[in-house]
Structure 1
Amino acid sequence: MFFIMSPFVAELLLFCLYASVCFFRGEGQITLPKNVSVSAVLVFGDSFVDQGNNNYVNTLGKGNYLPYGKDFQGGKPTGRFSNGRTLPDFLAKALGVKDYLPPSLDPLIKDDDLQTGVSFASGGSGFDPLTTTITTAIPMSVQLDMFKQYIGRLKRTIEEEGVNNIITNSVVVIVAGNNDLFLSFPLRRPQYDVTAYSNMLVKLVLDFIQEIHTLGVRRIVVFSAPSIGCLPEVRTISGGLLRNCGDEENNAAQLYNSILKQQLQIWASSFPQSKAVFVDYYNPFLSIIESPHNYGFDVADKGCCGLTGEIEVLYLCNKLTPTCPDDSKYFFWDGFHPTEKGYSIIVNHILQDLVKTLF
């Protein structure tokens, strides 16, 4: 079965009355429908959902130093690319699984924590092999291998039936494609126009989904690309003197999203016992950027960290560079990634429809 999420949701009160599912902004938790449970949250993708895996690989793309993590459990930089919690943390808590989703490569992770889910994601990753050649991140294909190793570790600690139940009742979240469109597509132009590249990328996404489905996954959540052209760094590079949103990047993201949505529907129609949900990441993201004051933000075209907030990301945000006085007033933490508050609001945008369609 396949469902398409709308970019916005009904009023909270009406949703709670008619769907019997309620989520309270910021720190809330969903009440799942009767006879429904979520055993684990398993996440694949890029820096939007990397919980710290890049700490353990040879890459420059790390966020395990201040000011990253300055608002996480008393100022602990974990490798999350934000000032605090990120998408996987808010999703895991809202689904009633746990408060924080750990990285799969954490050598100190305990078996009990492993059973409720991890993130395999790596900052800088993508489906196009060229992307991780550029960034030296963990490729999506290797993240798939990490998932297989994860299943193997579970089987060493609990019975196979229990492992199957964990995988079947888990929610798998995929957030990738952003780096492909931003980094690799410009280099692929001699080979592909935007339509051909999007088709190639979507095929890789579907191949990945097929692989995890073969391994027992039955609830799959696929995020679209966000409005890439409006990321502070991209605005600085492509937006001219006024730093407008980059139309070319946004148009590419929209085309990719359209093809992904259509092809995911075709794929999902072959597996009626499974559910695949397309999450519109683009429009909620853009809505916050275009009307930040509606969401309690003052600034949505610059990041909080760095000398200017216009381009700084990773090591350009460090202990020697300033941060904004109040990061709760900023949608973006750095030139690429939202703040903890930004992630929280995005999850609130998508969560209610996600529950209605996924379970």
Structure 2
Amino acid sequence: MQNILSIIVLCSVSYLTACDSSSETTVVTSNEEIDLRQLLKVPEHFAIPPIPDFNVPTREKIELGRRLFYDTKLSANQTQSCASCHKQSLAFSDGKVTPKGSTGEQLVRNSQGLANSAYHPTLTWANKVFLEIEDQLQVPIRADDPVELGVTPIYVDEVLARFNNDNVYIGLFANAFPESSTGATLNKIIQALATFCRTLISGDSPYDRYYQGDKTALTQQQLLGFQLFNGEKFECFHCHGGINFSTSYRDNNSNLGTQTYPFFNNGLYNLNGDGSYPTDDQGLFDQTFNPNHRGFFRPPSLRNVALTAPYMHDGSIATLREVIDHYLRGGRLIENGPNAGDGRLNPLKSGLVRGFSASEEEIAAVIAFLESLTDENFVNNPDFSNPFSEK
């Protein structure tokens, strides 16, 4: 697993990253907001996502980023692309427990869906350093422990040469970065990919149509589930509230001085009875080394959650019903094996995960509501599709 030293190194390799606390978000005026809303196709009931001042989006960056996202030439051995672990049909998740990198190394964390990732104040499952998409992209591209795309220092020149010797990419990089004559660089690749990722906005589910006034968009069962989701029995909304169904949220109007960065232990494991999680991934603890942070992970967005199974940071829960059963019990019981322990008794568990009882009707209603967060237009939007598949 990547340790804190590796993260610091990755954050220092590029002037683009926002690991420096001096990084600022572009202040958007009313006219600029109209332009950005049109460019990024932000729904009217959404705020503009935060955009770092060093990477203002353009149509040309989006076009380049989309192509790079699907191109296996971006991996050192040309076997994987970003889309290998983030498939549009699965809301840009991959349907696997945990993926493998381009060289076959097993990763320890489940591939999150990318819908509305621009609205998270921190990126990935458990990291307080990656505050911009540009920060996070350094890892899948550059990391060597474990290898994902594998563009380690010895392969950088070879990978860049693939783009600098390709006439299509020569034009795309020139259009996206007209003030630069240096061709493809990792910084430009990261900027373009981040810009494309900021367009992956999902806001046209049945829930959204209900939110905007179409009271026929949700069934009676889904409405019951909506009420239960936001009630004090199920208490889902405490960690999965707001327009993005996650308390890990910010937009262009957010005050960075009061921004919160929530991470929680939900009782998924309790090794040795002391709150520990499996040693290959103990969440925020692996970065802070604070023993009270064992098992702390960021609440993901529930947008398109019916498409992004399996669930949890390690993909260890297969279905939405099993997720609800986990919270009904107040923590998971593993009776045998190396991860044996009773998560209900985890001393570091959030007080909101206390267990409760619910009828089958109520459980089915909550699942039905979660299914109403599926945005079919998002997963079929040609603007997000593989450009290499187009005729």
TM-score by length of 1: 0.28
Structure with greater helix share of residues = 1
Larger Rg: 2
More strand by share: 1
TM-score by length of 2: 0.27
